[in-house]
Structure 1
Amino acid sequence: MNQLVVFALSGALLLTGCDKPQVQHDAPAWTAEGKTMGTFYRVTVADAPPEALVGLKQQISQLLEEDNHELSTYQSDSNLSHFNQYAGTDPQRITTGMAEIISTALRIGVKTEGAMDITVGPLVNLWGFGPDKQPIKMPDQQQIDAARRLVGLRHLTLSENVQGQWLQKDLPNLYVDLSTLGEGYATDHVARLLEKRGVNRYLVSVGGAVITRGVSPTGRPWRVAIQRPTDKEDVAQAIVDLQGHGISTSGSYRNYYELDGKRLSHIIDPATGRPIEHKLVSATVIATTALEADGWDTGLMVLGTQKAKDLALREGLAVYLITKTADGFTTWMSPQFKAFVISQAQVSAS
């Protein structure tokens, strides 16, 4: 589950997806908040013409409800579920929004050599992190191999013609899971709605994806803190000024369960078919959109520390990594990330 702390003015907004976020303001601000996609969203507007805010809360709620209905794997009647349920290989027409997400996913999937794979759903479900229930015993290799045969971006094709956007699978039972990018997409979608209404000073967060524009109600920058990787406390490891960018963090330290005495992460490596076991515990990405950041962070988490570093440097990504060591944690940031950093806490022992 993504973990970010948003410093909005003097207070802190905690985005854990578990507890309802709370924020303290030292200046008036318009806010809207609620639940979506199994997590919480919050929209804070620093300043806007009064007419821009009329009916805006209802529009935001409706937009997020529509996004969830489009992308959910938990709703059997969602657009994505209809595609997954289709037991054929003919191209299926999809919406422009879904095409945007899948196009981003396929591009990042290639760049990460398959580490970010939106067809990994059968493995996610096998390990109990999807709509299916948690297994009562560890999946065996035969089950893993069977699920892996249903996974691979090479089985998915996105195309476009004068009639619209089309998605095709060459395996009838290919299963697409867009949960790794849904929060980022929804965050950007709400931001576009705000700008259409003439709002240009805002902070939008859906789950662990955040995007900002302008400055806060006090005229100071919106600041976001990357959480220290622990499930026992909420402490900032580093604080950044997004400068109008999007940010997303993928971490292996909150969403897990224990089975047969072993802690299993929700992040599945498509190459092995198993939850990741390396020492990288948190990957944060800052990008021009929240969707872009949300796509890269998962792929980097799957790759592990060294491969994530190499990819970040090769692609010029703004990346911040936290790795578990025998003595605690170490941190690393790419040159592009340093431009956003306001402060960084000392590395702490576990």
Structure 2
Amino acid sequence: MSTDHPAAERRSLSGPTMGTRYSAVFYGSGDVDERRLAAALQSTLDRVDRQMSTWKPESDLNRLNDAATRVWVPVPAELMSVLQASLRIGRQSQGAFDIGVGDLVGAWGFGARPAHGDGLPGGPAVPKPAITAEALELDPHLRRARKHATLALDLSGIAKGHGVDEMARVMRQFSIPAWLVGIDGEMRASGAKPDGTSWAVAHERPVRGVREAMGVIELEDRAIATSGNYRHYRDIGARTISHTMDPRSGMPLENRLASVTVLAETGLEADAWATALLVMGEIAGPRLARLMDMDAIFVLADGTVETTL
């Protein structure tokens, strides 16, 4: 790969999105209009948020969530694509990845709209959600969707990855040869730095209350995402509740994994599969990753590391 970037200088941009911040680091000559680039990135991410946020009552996702059953709802092409990918990954992961967990997320106090009031301490009684693949019907040709059962969709396990892919599209539109973009822990890189080295991304040690790297991953023309139980959680009495729900049990996730990191061609795939493999657990997760020839790093709660790289 050519690393010839004439007069390339390191630039960086950042801004608010999806309840966190995005970042873009790139190398380019002086002809890159940073103001236009920043505006394009922000506009793109605002569009993703307007379509896929569970926190914005007027989002396209929430219009679908609020619609009556068996009523067709118009869906933007971008959201339709993410819904299709979500159902596919749900099938491939044998139900470990499921976007129909919105009521569970809310009931346990992690969502925008808590079910049954307030995410009751001690364990709310929430009916197990319908199987999303059976309850959600998509019509890609007419760009519409409908529910056949009560269903609260939550795209928090895939929307940021998609957002990173949309950032990548903007960077390519501006003909920038080398960049690293990210939203929170979801990152995607293109090209190499002017000195020929790859982008370096920290692999965070999954310890609550501690921010330190347990290693560095070199990234070039790939995406990376990490899911874990060490950042977003609640303590209820002596019990620590993960923000990740297990759609198979209808309960917060409980297994021996502390984090899963996935490298993939796109941010969407890395993001969703990091969640899916975390839910699958320390035995089934690595097994499926190897079967699908997926690059992943599994860190157990006791610090043990297993990789399929």
> What is the DSSP-based 3-state SS (H/G/I as helix, E as strand, rest coil) of the residue aligned with 1:29?
strand
> Whole-Å Cα distance in 1 between the matches of residues 165 and 10 of structure 2?
20
Task: Report what 1:345 is aligned to.
Answer: none
Answering whether residue 150 of structure 2 is matched by residue 156 of structure 1, we say: no
Task: Report what 1:166 is aligned to.
Answer: 144
Task: Report what 1:105 is aligned to.
Answer: 86
Task: Report what 1:252 is aligned to.
Answer: 229
| CA displacement at 1:212 relative to structure 2 | 0.5
| CA displacement at 1:240 relative to structure 2 | 1.5
Task: Report what 1:10 is aligned to.
Answer: none
| CA displacement at 1:285 relative to structure 2 | 0.5
> Whole-Å Cα distance in 1 between the matches of residues 26 and 185 of structure 2?
18
User: Do the aligned partners of 1:122 and 1:151 also contact (CA within 8 Å) in 2?
Assistant: no
The one of the two structures with greater contact order (alpha-carbon pairs below 8 A, sep at least 6) is 1
Task: Report what 2:3 is aligned to.
Answer: none
Task: Report what 1:333 is aligned to.
Answer: 307
> Whole-Å Cα distance in 1 between the matches of residues 65 and 211 of structure 2?
37
Residues 245 and 287 (structure 1), Cα distance of their counterparts in 2 relative to 1, 3 Å cut: same
Task: Report what 1:236 is aligned to.
Answer: 213
> Whole-Å Cα distance in 1 between the matches of residues 248 and 104 of structure 2?
11
Instruction: Name the amino acid aligned to 2:223.
Output: G
> Whole-Å Cα distance in 1 between the matches of residues 200 and 129 of structure 2?
43
User: Do the aligned partners of 2:258 and 2:301 also contact (CA within 8 Å) in 1?
Assistant: yes
Task: Report what 1:291 is aligned to.
Answer: 268
Is the deviation greater in 90-99 or in 103-112?
90-99
Instruction: Name the amino acid aligned to 2:73.
Output: Q
Encode CA deviations 1:110-144: one digit per residue, 9 max, x unaligned. Answer: 0111110001111111111101355342235xx23
Structure 1: give runs of 5+ residues left out of the alignment. 1-26, 338-350
Structure 2: give runs of 5+ residues left out of the alignment. 1-7
Task: Report what 2:119 is aligned to.
Answer: 135
Task: Report what 1:50 is aligned to.
Answer: 31
> What is the DSSP-based 3-state SS (H/G/I as helix, E as strand, rest coil) of the residue aligned with 2:215?
strand
Encode CA deviations 1:266-296: one digit per residue, 9 max, x unaligned. Answer: 0111111111121101001000001110010
> What is the DSSP-based 3-state SS (H/G/I as helix, E as strand, rest coil) of the residue aligned with 1:232?
coil
| CA displacement at 1:217 relative to structure 2 | 4.8
Encode CA deviations 1:171-190: one digit per residue, 9 max, x unaligned. Answer: 1x311111111110111101
Instruction: Name the amino acid aligned to 2:20.
Output: T
User: Do the aligned partners of 2:17 and 2:45 also contact (CA within 8 Å) in 1?
Assistant: yes
Instruction: Name the amino acid aligned to 1:283.
Output: V
| CA displacement at 1:149 relative to structure 2 | 3.9
Aligned length: 299
Q: How does 1:22-61 map to 2 (within 5 A)?
A: 28-48=9-29, 50-51=31-32, 53=34, 55-61=36-42
> What is the DSSP-based 3-state SS (H/G/I as helix, E as strand, rest coil) of the residue aligned with 2:84?
helix
Task: Report what 1:195 is aligned to.
Answer: 172
Given the alignment, which residue of 77, 84, 101 partners 2:65?
A: 84
Task: Report what 2:251 is aligned to.
Answer: 274
Task: Report what 1:343 is aligned to.
Answer: none
RMSD: 1.7
> Whole-Å Cα distance in 2 between the matches of residues 125 and 210 of structure 1?
27
> Whole-Å Cα distance in 2 between the matches of residues 118 and 288 of structure 1?
21
Given the alignment, which residue of 279, 282, 290 partners 1:305?
A: 282
User: Do the aligned partners of 2:9 and 2:28 also contact (CA within 8 Å) in 1?
Assistant: no
User: Do the aligned partners of 2:108 and 2:120 also contact (CA within 8 Å) in 1?
Assistant: no
Task: Report what 2:298 is aligned to.
Answer: 321
Is the deviation greater in 44-53 or in 314-323?
44-53
Task: Report what 2:5 is aligned to.
Answer: none
Percent pairwise identity: 29
Provide the TM-score with structure 2 as the length reference.
Answer: 0.92
Instruction: Name the amino acid aligned to 1:315.
Output: M
